C-alpha cells in the first residue's frame, strides 16, 4: 500500500493539518457505546479489528513526515521532552530493535534494516536517513538509541521499568501529550503518575490494570484507546507550553467549533521487552475535527450522546467544560435520535 504523505502540513502556527477522506475513514473512533466511563479497556494488540489503524502493530500514516518534523521543532525548543534514566540503556536497545524490526517488516518500501552480526544499517526513506551503527554501542549513533528511533516514529513513547511490584516511568519521548509532563512524572510509579485521574482509583481501575500489566508477556502486546479533545490540530499540548494553547479554549464559537475542535484519540500499546524485562509504551495520537467526524453519521450521533452524558469529573479533568455547551449545540444537529448499535 502506498502512503501519500503530506509533508508540508503543520501542527502549529497556521495549523494546515487535515485528514484526507481515507484518513477519516480509518480514524480509530473510540466509543463502542453511547456513553463513556473509565474501565480496564485492555485487549490483545493483534492485527485487524474495527479500524485499519490496527492492521500493523506500529501504524504509519499520511501525517508521518509532518509529525516527525513537529517533534523535532518541540525538541529543539525543549530538549527535556526526551528523558531516560541511566539504568534504562538495555531497555533503550530493546526498544530500537523492536521498533526497527516492526517498521522494516511491515513497511519494506519505507524502511529497511540490514543486520551483519552487531553491525546494523537502518534506512528510513521518507526522512532520507541511512545510518550504520553497532548494536549495543551508544557512541555509534548520533544520540541515545531510544531518542534516535523515537524521533522517527509518530506518537509519544515511554519505557516502564518493572520493580518492587510496580512500573516506573524511567524513560520517555513525549512531545504530543494531552497535558501531562514527562519532566514532572519521570521516575514516578504507576499509581503516582495516575494520581490526578478522577473516579478511576476509587473504581479499582488502576489496581486491576497494574496487576494485568505486571504479567505482560513478550510477543503478546496489548492495547487500549484513550481520548480527549484539543482546540486546533496541535500536538504539543504540554503543561510547559500551556500559555500558548490554553487560551485557545476561549475562542470557540458555533461558527468555528466544527473546524477548530478536534477529537484526540490515543492508541496506547504495551510491549514486554526481552533483555531488560521493561515495558515499551507507545502512545499514538490521532486527530480529527468535528467537521471531519460528522461526515460519518453514526460517529456524529454517538459523539453527541457521549458528550452529553459525560460525568462532570471527566469533563473537568479533560479540560472540556468551557466549550462543552457549544460542542453539544453543534453536534445536536447531527443526532437524529435514531437508535445505535454497539460497536464503533
Q: Which residues bind ligand HEM (CB under 6 A)?
A: 38, 40, 42, 158, 160, 167, 169, 178, 180, 185, 193-194, 196-197, 200, 205, 209, 213, 224, 226, 228, 281, 314, 317-318
The residue among 66 and 83 lying less far from ligand HEM, judged by its C-beta, is 83
* Grid coordinates belonging to 241: 507550553
Q: How far is the CB of 199 from ligand HEM (least distance, A)?
A: 9
C-alpha 264/C-alpha 262 separation (Å) is 6
Enumerate residues 6+ apart whose C-beta is below 8 A from 161. 85, 87, 88, 91, 167, 168, 170, 276, 278
DSSP 11-70: SSTT------HHHHHT-----SSSS-------EE--S-SSSGGGSSSS---TTHHHHHHH
224 is catalytic: yes
Q: List, edge to edge, every strand of the sheet that includes 119-124.
A: 111-116, 119-124, 129-134
Report the nearest approach of ligand HEM to the CB of residue 122 (Å). Answer: 26
Measured from the CB atom, the residue of 29 and 122 that comes closer to ligand HEM is 29
Considering the complex, state which of residue 39 and residue 121 has its C-beta at the smaller distance from ligand HEM.
Answer: 39
Strands 43-44 and 222-231: antiparallel
Contact 238, 77 (CB under 8 A): no
Report in angstroms how near the CB of residue 317 gets to ligand HEM at its nearest.
6
Set 12, 69, 224, 249: catalytic member:
224
Which of 113, 159 has the CB closer to ligand HEM? Answer: 159
Minimum CB–partner distance for residue 200 and ligand HEM (Å): 5
What's the closest the beta carbon of residue 235 comes to ligand HEM, in angstroms? 16
Q: 91 or 209, CB closer to ligand HEM?
A: 209
List CB contacts of 189: < 8 A, sequence separation 6 or more: 164, 166, 167, 168, 169
Whether 288 and 246 have beta carbons less than 8 Å apart is answered as: no
The catalytic site residues sit at: 224
Amino acid at each position: 500500500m502506498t502512503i501519500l504523505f503530506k509533508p508540508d502540513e503543520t501542527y502549529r502556527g497556521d495549523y494546515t493539518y487535515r485528514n484526507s477522506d481515507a484518513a477519516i475513514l480509518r480514524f480509530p473512533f473510540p466509543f463502542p457505546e453511547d456513553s463513556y466511563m473509565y474501565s480496564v479497556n485492555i485487549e490483545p494488540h493483534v492485527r485487524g479489528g474495527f479500524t485499519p489503524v490496527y492492521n500493523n502493530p506500529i501504524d504509519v500514516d499520511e501525517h508521518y513526515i509532518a509529525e516527525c518534523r513537529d517533534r523535532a521543532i518541540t525538541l529543539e525548543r525543549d530538549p527535556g521532552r526526551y528523558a531516560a534514566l541511566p539504568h534504562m540503556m538495555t531497555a533503550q536497545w530493546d526498544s530500537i530493535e523492536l521498533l526497527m524490526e516492526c517498521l522494516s517488516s511491515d513497511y519494506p518500501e519505507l524502511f529497511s534494516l540490514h543486520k551483519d552480526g552487531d553491525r546494523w544499517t537502518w534506512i528510513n526513506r521518507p526522512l532520507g536517513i541511512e545510518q550504520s551503527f553497532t548494536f549495543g554501542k551508544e557512541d555509534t549513533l548520533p544520540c541515545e538509541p531510544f531518542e534516535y528511533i523515537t524521533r522517527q516514529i509518530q506518537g509519544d513513547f515511554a519505557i516502564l521499568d518493572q520493580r518492587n511490584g510496580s512500573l516506573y516511568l524511567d524513560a520517555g519521548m513525549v512531545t504530543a501529550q494531552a497535558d501531562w509532563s514527562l519532566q514532572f512524572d519521570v521516575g514516578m510509579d504507576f499509581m503516582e503518575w495516575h494520581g490526578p485521574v478522577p473516579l478511576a482509583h476509587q473504581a479499582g481501575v488502576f489496581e486491576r490494570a497494574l496487576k494485568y500489566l505486571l504479567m505482560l508477556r513478550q510477543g503478546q502486546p496489548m492495547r487500549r484507546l484513550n481520548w480527549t479533545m484539543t482546540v486546533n490540530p496541535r500536538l504539543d499540548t504540554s503543561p510547559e507550553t500551556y500559555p500558548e494553547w490554553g487560551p485557545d479554549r476561549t475562542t470557540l464559537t458555533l461558527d468555528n467549533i466544527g473546524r477548530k475542535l478536534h477529537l484526540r484519540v490515543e492508541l496506547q500499546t504495551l510491549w514486554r521487552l526481552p533483555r531488560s524485562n521493561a515495558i515499551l509504551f507507545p502512545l499514538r495520537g490521532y486527530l480529527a475535527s468535528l467537521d471531519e467526524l460528522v461526515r460519518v453519521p453514526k460517529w456524529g450521533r454517538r459523539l453527541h450522546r457521549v458528550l452529553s452524558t459525560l460525568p462532570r469529573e471527566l469533563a473537568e479533568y479533560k479540560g472540556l467544560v468551557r466549550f462543552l455547551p457549544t460542542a453539544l449545540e453543534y453536534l445536536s444537529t447531527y443526532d437524529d435520535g435514531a437508535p445505535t448499535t454497539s460497536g464503533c
